[in-house]
Structure formats: C-alpha cells, structure tokens
A and B are shown apart, each in its own frame.
Chain A
Amino acid sequence: MFANIVRASLRSSLSASLRSTTLNTGAFRFVSNVSKDDVFARSIAVLKTFELKNINDEITSSTQFTKDLGMDSLDYNDALVALEEEFDVVFDDAVANEITTVGEAVDYISKNIMPEEDILDKEIR
C-alpha cells in the first residue's frame, strides 16, 4: 500500500515536468521532453519501494535486477509493471524478457514515454 502512495505522490510532484511538452505540428504528435535523468531518478524511487537484497547499495544504470537487487523472475516482472504504471509505457514482450539491467529499462522507457494527457482518465488507462 505504501508503495502505491509513494508512487502516487511521485507522479503528482513530477507531472509538472511532464506537462511541459512541445507540440510537433508537422507530425501531429506530442514529444515528451522528460530527460533521461528524470526517468532514472523516478525509476530508482519506484525500485526502492520493493524489498531489495542490498537496500543500502546505490542503484546505477548497470545494476542487474536479478544479481544485484536479488529479484527472481516474478519479482522482476512486478518491478517492470510498476515501472510501466509509473511512466505509462508498455514493455514489449520481446524486450521485457531481454532486459537485465536498470539502465536498459530506463533506455526503453525514455524512448517510449508519452506525455500525460489530461483528457484521459488515468483509471481507464
């Protein structure tokens, strides 16, 4: 439960940065300007809500989910879905099974992240 609260507060505090989007009129689509550092910081905050093996170790982009964080395959997928909910992205099945480090996950998220749109109900999404 606390994990959800932390995620919700994170979302609200950082949504300001998400909203500052630029409109690419040529392609009719919004381009997110969330920096990779932002994504990385939020990812770490999400991962910290899990029970990790070495809770005091710093999480870097080369940190491995299974080896360094002590996750098994289901824990790791829990974490991926938590990241999906935080950033509103969907990990492709082929990609999700290949990702081993936090850095790879952050790369995928920052490539695929879409800005929040206020018209859409978050519950439905």
Chain B
Amino acid sequence: MTTPTAFAEAARFSVTNAELRLRVLNLYRRYLRHSREFVNSYDLDIPAYQVKTKIRQEFERHRFVQDLAIKNVLYMKGQMEFQELVNFWKQQCHVMKYFEDFEHYSSVSNDSFVQKFLKGATQA
C-alpha cells in the first residue's frame, strides 16, 4: 500500500539563494541514498553507480541557473520526481527514459502525432 503523503513536502518558496542551496543539497543526498532502491524496485539492468551518475547529471544540468524563481520551480519539480520515484508511482519505462540514447532519440522520425506520442515528446 502506498501512503499518498509519503515523502511529500509542502511547496515553499525560498527567498534566499543560501537557503535554497541547502534544500537542493538535501534533496540530492536523498536521491543518492535511494539509488539502490530505484534499481531494485524498478528492476533496472543498470548498476546503482550509474544511476547515481545520472542523478548527478540531472542536477548538473541546472547548475548555472541564476533566477531564484526558476530555481524554486526546479527544486519543486525535483522533489516531486523524487516522491514519484521512491513511492513506485512510475513504471520501468518512465525511469529508463532518463537513460535513453541521445543519438537514437534524434534519429527517430518524429513527424506524426503517434510517433511523437510514443516517444513521449513534450513539445511539438
């Protein structure tokens, strides 16, 4: 049974960069701690260290974001993603999307609606 509020966090706007920084680092640590659990629960054919690397990459992507409002939203999305992952609200394919091959991704023809839908593209 899943508890809907497990790992939930009330949305809160951090008004200083220093405070938000600590919250992000706490979130990063929480992700890393559960990396092995992600592998186990989603039956990933990926070692935990590779999941850790991917978590790191996802955090690094937003390293140089300057706008505090945007950073708050990114933190909130990261926290929601964590909650969904750790509560097993996703399926394997949703997790494997992070490990998709870049070259393969762009070479798929993406002109029809169905192909875009199957690829999971969020933008037209």
Q: Is A123 an interface residue (CB 8 A)?
A: yes
Residues of A within 8 A of B42 (CB): none
- Nearest-CB distance from B106 to chain A (Å)? 28
Closest 7 CB pairs of A and B: A81-B32, A93-B26, A77-B29, A97-B22, A77-B28, A4-B49, A77-B25
Task: Count B-side interface residues using an 8 Å CB cutoff.
Answer: 17
Q: Which residues of B line the A interface, CB within 8 A? A: 21-22, 25-26, 28-29, 32-33, 36, 40, 47-49, 52, 56, 59-60
**Which residues of A67-125 have CB atoms within 8 Å of chain B's CB atoms?**
73-74, 77-78, 80-81, 84, 90-91, 93, 96-97, 123
Shortest A37–chain B CB gap in Å is 27
Tell me the bound Cα distance from A123 to B25 in angstroms: 24
Given the known inter-chain contacts A1-B49, A78-B56, please indicate yes or no for A91 contacting B36, CB distance below 8 A: no
A interface, size bucket? 10 to 19
For the complex, give the distance between the alpha carbons of A80 and B26 in Å: 11
Chain A residues with Cβ below 8 Å from B36 are 123
Distance A90 CA – B48 CA, assembled complex (angstroms): 18
CB distance from B48 to the nearest CB of A (A): 8
* Candidate in A78, A80, A84 with the most chain B CB atoms within 10 angstroms: A78
Which residues does A use to contact B, with CB under 8 Å? 1, 3-4, 73-74, 77-78, 80-81, 84, 90-91, 93, 96-97, 123
A90 x B33 contact (CB < 8 A)? yes
Cβ of B29 and Cβ of A123 under 8 Å apart? no
> What's the Cα separation between A4 and B29 when bound, in Å?
18
Query: 15 other contacts beyond A3-B49, A78-B32, A90-B33, with CB at 8 A cut-off?
Result: A1-B47, A4-B48, A74-B25, A74-B56, A74-B59, A74-B60, A77-B32, A78-B52, A81-B29, A81-B33, A91-B29, A93-B26, A96-B25, A123-B36, A123-B40
Which residues of B are found within 8 Å of A78, using beta-carbon distances?
32, 52, 56
Instruction: Give B49 Cβ to nearest chain A Cβ, in Å.
Output: 6
Q: Tell me, rounded to whole Å, the shortest Cβ–Cβ distance linking A80 to chain B.
A: 7
Q: Whose C-beta in chain B lies nearest to the C-beta of A123?
A: B40
CB distance from B26 to the nearest CB of A (A): 5
